[in-house]
Chains A and B, each alone.
Chain A
Amino acid sequence: GAVVSQHPSRVICKSGTSVKIECRSLDFQATTMFWYRQFPKQSLMLMATSNEGSKATYEQGVEKDKFLINHASLTLSTLTVTSAHPEDSSFYICSANWILGNEQFFGPGTRLTVL
C-alpha cells in the first residue's frame, strides 16, 4: 500500500515551453500533497502545499504564477512549470499525506531538463 506515482519520470523541453507533472496516490486518499524540488546532492526543499479543492500554499520565494498547482481530487495533484528556463532544471518530487495518519509518502520524482 501507500503508493504514489508521478508522471512523467523524465522530461526534456525547450526554454519557454510549459511542462505538466502529475502526482497520484494510487491506493489511498491524500488530504494534502506536497511538491518538493531537489538539486543534486542537496536536501528536499518544499515548494508548495496542495490541498484538494483549495488554492495551493507556496513557500517564500516560489513564484506561484510560474509553478501552477492544481489539486483536482483526493488522489491527483498537478504541477505545471510555465515558461520553463534552464534554471528550472531540477528533480521535482511530490508527496502525499495519508488521510488517516501522519505518514507522508513520496512519488518517484520527475527529472526536468530545460534546454
Chain B
Amino acid sequence: QQPVQSPQAVILREGEDAVINCSSSKALYSVHWYRQKHGEAPVFLMILLKGGEQKGHEKISASFNEKKQQSSLYLTASQLSYSGTYFCGTPRSGAGSYQLTFGKGTKLSVIP
C-alpha cells in the first residue's frame, strides 16, 4: 500500500522551516526519503531503519515513529536549493524487502 504524504505542496520563503509527513496503514520497517528536482532522478537523502531513530543531514533531518507508523522530514532554515518534490518510500513487505512503494510526493517551493 502506498504511504500517504502530507502536505501535498508547500511554499516557503528562504529561511523558513517545513515538516513533511509520511504515514502508513501497515507496519513500517524502514523509511527512505528522496528529493527530486524537475526532470531529474530522485536523490537519496536518508534512510531510517529503527523506531525512534532520528537522523540529520545538514539542515535536513528526519524521525521515525515505528509505533505510529509514520516518519517526518524536517527542513530548517530552508534554502532555494531545497525546492523540489520530496518522496518517502517504504518497503513493500517485511524488513528484508528492498522493493519500495513511494508516496505521491510533497512539492516544496522555496522563494526568495
Contacts and interface: CB of A to CB of B under 8 A. Distances in A.
Interface in B30-48: 30, 32, 34, 39-44, 47
B88 to A, nearest CB: 10
Interface residues of B, number: 22
B105 A103 contact: no
- For the side of the interface on A, what is the size category? 20 to 34
A32 interface: yes
B18 interface: no
B27 interface: no
A93 interface: yes
A114 interface: no
Contacts of B87: 43-44
A49 B30 contact: no
Q: Count chain A CB atoms within 10 A of each CB in B30, B41, B89, B105 and give the residue with the most.
A: B41
Contacts of B39: 111
B98 A104 contact: yes
Interface in B74-102: 87, 89, 98-102
A43 B104 contact: yes
Contact of A102 (B34, B47, B101, B103): B47
Contacts of A111: 39
Interface string A89-110: 0000100010000111111110
Contact of A106 (B30, B42, B47, B101): B42
B41 A93 contact: yes
Given A34-B99, A102-B98, A44 B30 contact: no
Counting from the closest, the 9 A-B pairs by CB-CB distance are: A106-B41, A109-B41, A44-B102, A43-B102, A106-B42, A97-B98, A108-B41, A43-B104, A93-B41
